[in-house]
Amino acid sequence: MDQTQKIFEALNWASSFLQKNNRDVNAGELLLRHFLGMTRSQLLANMHEVLPEQIQETFQQAVFAHIDGIPIQHIIGFEEFFGRDFIVNSNVLIPRPETEELVLGAINRIKRAYSSNLEGLKLVDIGTGSGIIAITMKLECPELSVSAVDISNEALSIAEKNARNLEAEINFLHGDLLLPLISSQEKVDIILSNPPYIPNRDIEILSEVVKDHEPHQALFGGEDGLDYYRRLMEQIPQIMNSRAIIGFEIGMGQGEQVAELLNSTFPGSHVEIVQDINGKDRMVFCEIG
C-alpha cells in the first residue's frame, strides 16, 4: 500500500480486494474505524486525511487475515450486542443481531406477564457462550436474578469477563444444559436459550469464516438440528415454576417443529412462532400458567 495513502484510498483498496475474494465489502470500514478509534461519522468526515504508516500496515494485515477466513470480530476482539461491546474469540459464537430480537421479545413478554413486577424472578440462559443473553437481560431488567449455564469452561471464562466488564451480576454454572439446576433442585421462572440448531449436514454450505473459526459444539444440533430442543423438553419441566416463560432462538424451517415440541410438553400453554426483521421464523416463545 502507498505510504501516503488517504483514508478513502485505503477503504477503496479494501472494498475492491474484499469483493474480489467474496468477503463483505463493509469489513474494511469496520476494521479501519477500529484501528483509528473513530465512529462512522468521524471516519466519513476525515476521508481525505492521510493514514499513519503503522495503521496502514496493521489495516492491510487485518484485511488479508479476513480474506483468509478469520472473522472481523476475532481480529478486533469484540462484537456489539444491544449497544454494548462483548469480548469474543474462537471459544464462543459471535453474537448475531437476530439474538437481539430474542432478548427484546423476552423483555416485552416478561414485563407484560408480570406487570413489570420482576423482583425475585429467576432467569436462566442455557448455553450462554459469551454471555450476551444473560448479561443483557440482567442489565435491561436489573430486578431479575440471572443464572447462565455452559458446558464449555473456555466459554464461561469469556462470559465471566464480559459480566465483569459490563458490571452485571450473573451466577455462572458449568454443566450440560440444565443439569446443574436439576442437581441443585433450583426452580426458575424464565428460560432463554440460543442452542446449537444447525443440522450437521449443513457444514458443507457454511462459510469457512463460520465453520473454521466458531465452536462446532455451539453450532450443530444433530441430523435435523433439533437434538438440543428435544433434550430441553425433558429437562425444563424439572426446573420451572408452575408459571413460566420459555424463549428459544431457532434455525430456518424449525418453527413448527419446535412449537410442536413445546405444545406436546406443555399442553394448554401459549406457544408463538415469531419472525425476525427479515421475515424468517427465528424465535419460539412459550408462556405457561
In angstroms, rounded to a whole number, what is the distance separating the alpha carbons of residues 155 and 127? 9
Is 177 within a domain?
yes
Label residue 94 left, alpha or beta by phi (over 0 means left) and psi (-120 to 50 means alpha): beta
Structure confidence at residue 133 (pLDDT): 97
- Does the annotation place 128 within a ligand binding site? yes
For residue range 96-120, list pLDDT tens digits in order.
889 999 999 999 999 999 987 888 8
111 with 59, same domain? no
Structure confidence at residue 227 (pLDDT): 87
Is 79 within a domain?
no
Q: pTM of the prediction?
A: 0.87
Give the range of the structural domain holding residue 203, as residue numbers without chain letter: 93-288
100 with 21, same domain? no
Is 52 within a domain?
yes
- Does the annotation place 196 within a ligand binding site? yes
Is 197 within a domain?
yes
**Cell 448455553 maps to which residue?**
127
Query: What mean pLDDT, rounded, does the chain reach?
Result: 90
199 with 62, same domain? no
What are the cell numbers at 221?
444440533
What are the b/e assignments for 186-199, b being 16+ CB within 10 Å?
eebbbbbbbbbbbb
pLDDT band per the 50, 70, 90 thresholds, residue 18: very high
64 with 107, same domain? no
Is 78 within a domain?
no
- Does the annotation place 150 within a ligand binding site? yes
Check pLDDT > 60 for residue 256: yes
In angstroms, rounded to a whole number, what is the distance separating the alpha carbons of residues 262 and 246? 9
Check pLDDT > 90 for residue 222: no
Indicate which CATH number applies to the domain containing 274: 3.40.50.150
Structure confidence at residue 1 (pLDDT): 47
Do 124 and 191 form a contact (C-beta atoms < 8 A)? Answer: yes
What's the alpha-carbon Rg for the chain, to the nearest Å? Answer: 21
pLDDT band per the 50, 70, 90 thresholds, residue 17: very high
**Domain end: 68, 102, 117, which one?**
68
148 with 224, same domain? yes
Strand 240-249 vs strand 281-288: parallel, antiparallel, or unpaired?
Answer: antiparallel
11 with 109, same domain? no
What are the cell numbers at 243?
408459571
What are the cell numbers at 46?
476525515
Residues found in the chain = 289
Q: If you average pLDDT over residues 7-11, what whole number do you get?
A: 95
28 with 130, same domain? no
For residue range 137-148, list pLDDT tens digits in order.
999 999 999 999
Is 57 within a domain?
yes
- Does the annotation place 194 within a ligand binding site? yes
- Does the annotation place 222 within a ligand binding site? no
Strand arrangement, sheet containing 188-193: 171-174, 145-150, 122-126, 188-193, 240-249, 281-288, 270-275
Is 165 within a domain?
yes
- Does the annotation place 228 within a ligand binding site? no
28 with 121, same domain? no
In angstroms, rounded to a whole number, what is the distance separating the alpha carbons of residues 98 and 279? 11
275 with 135, same domain? yes
57 with 123, same domain? no
Apex 26 CA angle, 23 and 28, nearest 5: 85
Check pLDDT > 70 for residue 205: no
Is 75 within a domain?
no
98 with 237, same domain? yes
276 with 158, same domain? yes
- Does the annotation place 197 within a ligand binding site? yes
For residue range 26-52, list pLDDT tens digits in order.
899 999 999 999 999 999 999 999 999
Domains held by the chain: number: 2
- Does the annotation place 114 within a ligand binding site? no
- Does the annotation place 136 within a ligand binding site? no
